[in-house]
Amino acid sequence: MLLWAGFACCASPGCYNSICMFRKVLIANRGEIAVRVIRTLREMGIGSVAVYSDPDRTSLHVRMADEAERLGPGPSAESYLRIDRILDAARKHGAEAIHPGYGFLSENADFAAACEDAGIVFIGPSAASIRAMGSKTAARRTAIAAGAPVVPGTDQPVTLAELRAFAATHGYPVLLKAVAGGGGKGMRRVDSEDELESAFRNASSEAERAFRSAEIYVEKLIERPRHIEIQLLGDQHGNMVHLGERECSIQRRHQKVIEECPSPLVALYPEMRREMGEAAIRAARAAGYYNAGTVEFLVDQDRRFYFLEMNTRLQVEHPVTELVTGLDLVRHQVNIAAGERLPFTQEEIAWRGSAIECRIYAEDPYNDFLPYPGKITRLRRPLGPGVRIDGCIYEGWVVPMEYDPLLAKLTVWADTREHASERLIRALGEYDVAGIRTNIAFFRQILEDPEFRAGHLHTGFIDEFFARRVPCEAPPDFATVAVLVAALHTARNKADAAPVASAASRWLEAGRGDLLR
């Protein structure tokens, strides 16, 4: 009988022929991804343990979990990045495994190794694989060794002098990137020699704050590329498959905001899916990879693709893959971590229909996407066929200032991309979040844009979108409209009661009317 350290044996006859499952899993994260993981654990009959910082004491993931443990005050360095406190919480609550979600410690090799040393299963790849692929420069070297095409760049962190030499050889523009980075942090475009020093200094500083590593490397910038990624699943027995691609080209400040599966480009050239999938698997195998992971590619205007990096974790945008393939990636992550084999081969994977996801942020798209924390005074979620929401908010909850302002992910599925776009526009029209500003109205403008509907996507799409049209003002909050209506009504009643209205009151009434409109 096969028993794995820290696993619970079900003591049933079937246990002799299959790996026993965990009884309890701690989620070392917060927000919507913690809620997402808790839901699958509950379906699997596995207990969940949430961890939280002081600002997250009343968060939805804490309320939904079976158990919860405080980590510390608001700053991530004193809570969600404290490996010692997370492991202590796992021991205290008897969790046999830890799911890292995305962000925070999800791609931290030291955390994965610390879990292993503590006898707790890390639901993700090995520490060695994270080191091989989590570092962007190490990942480039691994991809090159595996025969995957890469963008011209450096395979080591660079000094300012080395950066100047690279730019002189390859020409501008170039792209500075954090070695330990992700999510657009520590990334800067440089178009000329005059910008180089300040860009290098700012990118290093931002990388240090975000990842505790100021190391920067450089790549030749590909103009107007598409960002297309391949989802992988591999077990600990050497089996690995790809689950197709996701188009992630709609980005602001180098961070994805709209994702879809399949890519409208790959849908026109299906051989790209096979070629990119094979390249991604080669790179992952070279790193001894298992569990869920994503290999990201840049695609130029001639459809040539280049290895960009590998995310050694579950991606924010995984719901679009789940809707098109019908697979629960979190469930497979847990099963793989428990030692199970993949239950399907590459030939058995099928893609059906089209899915599009919008990341709903507390931010102002019409003011450089600045975060907009505050109290949610009203929440109405869209419903209907093919609509999925992965969220962490509720009425009365205060969006904290300490963390990423992601509120939810609205994802829809339909039989075609055109129908999915129409369904998403309808769903966005039903989505009502009051008390703060969000990007919901902005997404409707993007989805109605002819260039988006035609599938003409690239990473600079949003900048060009703003350049070719004047964005509409965000719709006013309902409470603000109610106050204006009441004020206008009062003014009109006073005007009716008075025999002659003064010139000042007529101007005031006209102004209120304009504001209301």
- 413-418: which pairs have CB atoms within 8 A and are 24 or more residues apart? 413/323, 413/324, 413/353, 413/354, 413/355, 413/386, 413/388, 414/353, 414/354, 414/386, 415/353, 415/354, 416/353, 416/354, 417/260, 417/264, 417/267, 417/354, 417/356, 417/455, 418/453
Other Cβ atoms less than 10 A from the Cβ of 270: the count is 10
Closest CA to 280 of 268, 293, 269, 291: 293
Q: How many angstroms separate the CA atoms of 313 and 311, rounded?
A: 6
Rg of the chain over Cα atoms, rounded to whole angstroms, equals 25
Q: Which tokens go with 387?
A: 């609509």
- For 210, which DSSP code? H
- Residue 222: phi and psi, rounded to 5, are -90, 125
H helix intervals, 146-237 = 160-170, 193-211
Task: Yes or no: say if 417 and 267 are a contact pair by the CB < 8 Å rule.
Answer: yes
Q: Which residues contact 307 (CB under 8 A, 6 or more apart)?
A: 139, 140, 143, 148, 149, 150, 151, 279, 283, 295, 296, 297
Other Cβ atoms less than 10 A from the Cβ of 331: the count is 14
β-strand pairing of 374-375 with 398-399: antiparallel
- For 200, which DSSP code? H
Mutual angle of helices 83-93 and 109-117, in 10-degree steps: 30
Other Cβ atoms less than 10 A from the Cβ of 168: the count is 10
Sheet of 188-190, strand order:
188-190, 174-178, 216-220
Cα separations (Å) of 258 from 87, 164, 406, 411, 481?
A: 35, 34, 13, 10, 30
Other Cβ atoms less than 10 A from the Cβ of 465: the count is 17
From 313, 437, 444, 512, active-site residue: 313
The DSSP-derived string for 16-79 is GGSPPPPSEEEE---HHHHHHHHHHHHHTT-EEEEEEEGGGTT-HHHHHSSEEEEEESSSGGGT
Task: Yes or no: say if 331 and 40 are a contact pair by the CB < 8 Å rule.
Answer: yes
β-strand pairing of 305-311 with 291-299: antiparallel
Is position 313 annotated as part of the catalytic site? yes
Task: Yes or no: say if 298 and 227 are a contact pair by the CB < 8 Å rule.
Answer: yes
Task: Yes or no: say if 228 and 247 are a contact pair by the CB < 8 Å rule.
Answer: yes
The DSSP-derived string for 452-470 is HHTT---TTHHHHHHHHSP
Q: Looking at the annotation, which residues are catalytic?
A: 313
